[in-house]
Amino acid sequence: MHQYRGFPSACALQGEAAAVTITRDDWGIAHVHGRTDADAVFGMTCAHAGNDFNRAESNDLTCVGLMAEVRGKGALWQDLRQRLLVYPDLLKNHTERVYHPGQASNTP
């Protein structure tokens, strides 16, 4: 199993998994039960991953800008674009350094 930065290991999720029950009906529809809303969301995420892991993993990696770790150099621009959307301060600070080099910002 590949461990991505910022993603918890399977062992760290055992407590969350113990609080959730997922059953499937005759049509394969997942029915998720948990004590809290967070438990239910965790269970729905697990059910989604069970149904279509490749898409769930791809969505997660795209959202955090880590797709290049799986797909290679071809996804670098996609990751950069996503990280700039998720971390707008990076874009702002970079723009200030490029267009106003004499007015250095205190933040990286």
User: b/e per residue, 74-108, with b = 16+ CB within 10 A?
Assistant: ebeeebeebeeeeeeeeeebeeeeeeeeeeeeeee
The domain tally of the chain equals 1
Rounded distance, CA 40 to CA 26, Å? 21
Rg (CA), the chain: 19
Q: Is residue 81 part of a domain?
A: no
| pTM, two decimal places | 0.50
Q: Is residue 89 part of a domain?
A: no
Q: Is residue 4 part of a domain?
A: yes
Q: Is residue 86 part of a domain?
A: no
Range of the domain at 11: 1-51
pLDDT tens column, 45-87 = 888 888 888 888 888 888 888 899 999 999 999 998 888 888 7
Q: Is residue 44 part of a domain?
A: yes
Q: Is residue 36 part of a domain?
A: yes
